[in-house]
Structure 1
């Protein structure tokens, strides 16, 4: 393992607890790679595709109503594109996927511990060590009674835990197949801890993503009995939440109210229509229709929604619709095309790999897919820890794709 790989892994390990220290390591490696290899990097067609995407983002910022907000919004994308390109030239082999996955999963241990302390031991902050470390750590969670741990909000933690869940399942399966008991117990234990986190975030999105990950692994492994079991459990829970009477009453005596009441939103029967996702999605889509080529500018959705609905809202709870509204259809399609191409090549590479290498690539693809799925119902990339994980996982897939003789 060279120092660049060590830097990436060290950065990943530190990032959830201290974005500054983690970012310092990852940015340091990124700068070094670009300084030494920029000519080679610029020969790759994918880099030019990302350049087109970046250019369209800048163009949309010039056309924005609030240009200062739009240009600030570029920092949620442009630096991460640079990191993606650098990391995809470092991670090129399946064994590196395992190393990266292990670092990401291990990084969740302090997050789980702090979260449990927050919910059961009364731990609270804020814990502020300047740029080195800052945890809001609201007593009882943020919002109340929903675990948030080192993150500002429960949904961000939920997205993070769903990524760990996806990677941890893959590592547990690999350890089981290779008969490494200690590793199996380690990864399974971390998965169990993150399962508790997923439950206590009370995030419907995360629960759905976790179920989807289980189905993906069950299908991959050919465990039809597990697919049937997962489908049965999901059907019972959903029926308890949404089925008409008289079917749902007996099911609600079986399924804990913690689940069906949250899924059916009966915990908040008086939720304003402006807070409903359908309202937000419709508004974002109409913004895109009004300015289909450039959008209204990054970070401009909030002001537009507030002026129309009288309610402050940071985003429309769907990344694609947010991009359509703020950057236009073309920019959104370019990004979707790049991601889809990398993913498609990953599927092509899967078959010729050995069983363990194939499992590790599949694991990283499932983890990245969990991020994509989560962002169909929420937008958490504004937290750099989620943002960097998404781009690192996609970079790992791209690096292995490019190295494979199947796609080269």
Structure 2
């Protein structure tokens, strides 16, 4: 794993990958490993970190978040909310210097994808074999694992709730698809079906089953968008047509006119179309609808545009307004606007957008996106895009596992001090014809 890496960084990097592998099952063990490596990075290269303009930008963001908390009505509550941001910003800054080489980016993608296997197996057992908990080993492992999932009928596995599991699975699914494509395009001529194809392909299937069982409309939509992106990049017109036809069938079954809807509902599973059009959960109170939450969050941001109302304040404000308790407004940008104000929100998205822009422009311009040189950073970009899109309809960063993976993916996207790879011989092309 450490071949070609700085020998002083090989052991910390192995520990980082081990932490990523353990993270979904044991946030404590995985988190401690990642924190230990990032602390080592700060101790060894702290001066270098502090000289980076991006660090200055994130330091200003941290200051704005702190000032916002101090301006809030319940300062202690808002200060506690900083725990969802400041430690992860520090992890991101440290990780940028650790993830510098193409093989490290590949290993990170592999570690995240592999970590989804036990999560999927436990979830499938929970949903279809009657497995249930609780399994409580103190801080080491704590799984509620309620029979039938949480909410009832929706797989939650070790995450305790369906939506964080869906977010995690769509990240792992995106990376597994990319790794499967890579294994297929680089397979040796004498072994047309190497084990890598079966392994990564199996993870694609497992995470597809998990996404279906979570009944997450958000997860389904993001997965379809990522599948279309892969199809376009790889030039797979058949997949574009297949995904488009599948989406048309599902939307027709859920929202089509009655003469068309009835026959399509015989083809599409009810668990899908009835989830999309809310037939599974009819007559929901208007206060529980996302549109109501978004409107209220927007109104809050208009009332206090500079400093916001303070982190972790939305729930109480919404309950006072509607009588309904909600943990968040199911949209990260609106939550940040309402709770931290326009300056902090704008600075966060500008900083993240700058990293993504650098990642896109760092793709080797001498080779097509589908070549091996570009496929690994591309799949990392898509995985980060997947969790970013997910946060437009939900907010799952309160789960430290999702939060950590998001910042690690962003660190892997950042090219840092690396430079584009020189043009490789034609043999390294993944085998897709250039059109």
Question: CA shift at 1:382, angstroms?
Answer: 0.3
Give 5+ residue unaligned stretches, structure 2: 3-9, 189-193, 422-435
Residues 1:367 and 2:400 aligned together:
no
2-structure distance, mates of 1:253, 1:128: 43
Residue 409 of structure 2 corresponds to residue 404 of structure 1: no
CA contact (8 A) 2:363 2:420 kept: no
The question of whether the paired residues in 2 share the 8 Å contact of 1:119 and 1:141 is answered with: yes
Matched, 1:71 2:86: no
Contact 1:349–1:401 (CA under 8 A) maintained in structure 2: no
Query: 1:357: Cα distance to partner?
Result: 2.3
- The alpha-carbon distance between structure 1 residues 105 and 169, as it changes in their structure 2 partners (threshold 3 A), is same
- Name the structure 1 match of 2:410: 394
Q: 1:231 maps to what in 2?
A: 244
Question: Match of 1:243?
Answer: 256
* Pick aligned residue for 1:52 from 48, 60, 73: 60
Deviation, 1:246, is 2.5
- Pick the aligned partner of 1:327 from 330, 336, 340: 340
Structure 1 CA distance for aligned equivalents of residues 92 and 154 of structure 2? 32
| Alpha-carbon displacement from aligned partner over 1:243-290 (angstroms, at most 9, x marks no partner) | 222222222122121111000011111100000000000000000000
Q: In the aligned structure 2, how far is the partner of 1:320 from the partner of 1:212?
A: 20
1:219 alignment partner, SS class? helix
SS of the aligned residue for 1:68 comes to helix
User: Shift in Å at residue 163 of structure 1?
Assistant: 0.5
Is residue 98 from structure 1 mapped to residue 106 from structure 2 by the alignment? yes
TM-score by length of 2: 0.91
* Residue 118 of structure 2: aligned partner: 110
Asked if 2 retains the 8 angstrom alpha-carbon contact of 1:95 and 1:357, the reply is: no
| Shift in alpha-carbon separation, 1:386–1:353, aligned structure 2, 3 A | farther
Alpha-carbon RMSD across the aligned residues, in angstroms, is: 1.2
1:4-19 alignment to 2 at 5 Å?
Answer: 4-19=12-27
The answer for the alignment partner of 1:381 in structure 2 is 397
**Which structure 2 residues correspond to residues 233-382 of structure 1 after superposition, within 5 A?**
233-352=246-365, 355-382=371-398
The CA distance in 1 between the partners of 2:419 and 2:74, in whole Å, is: 45
Gaps of 5+ in 1: none
Partner SS, residue 150 of structure 1: helix
Distance 2:47 2:417 in 1: 17
- Give a deviation string over 1:177-235, Cα, whole Å, max 9, x none: 10161111100011111111111111101111111110111111111221122112111
TM-score, normalization by structure 1: 0.97
Moved more, 196-205 or 216-225: 216-225
| Cα distance in 2 for residues equivalent to 1:294 and 1:402 | 35
> How many residue pairs get matched?
405
Whose RCO is larger (CA < 8 A, sep 6+)?
1
1:135 matched to 2:146? no
> What CA distance in whole angstroms lies between the structure 1 residues aligned with 2:205 and 2:66?
43
Q: 1:346–1:401: 8 Å Cα contact kept in structure 2?
A: no
Distance (whole Å) between structure 2 residues aligned to residue 330 and residue 383 of structure 1: 25
Question: Which of 131, 141, 157 pairs up with 1:123?
Answer: 131
CA displacement at 1:362 relative to structure 2: 0.3
- Within a 5 Å distance, the mapping from 1:148-187 to structure 2 comes to 148-179=156-187, 181-187=194-200
Deviation at 1:317, TM superposition (A): 0.3
Cα pair 2:24 2:119 within 8 Å, conserved: yes
Partners of 2:320 and 2:380 in 1: CA distance: 41
- The corresponding residue for 1:205 is 218
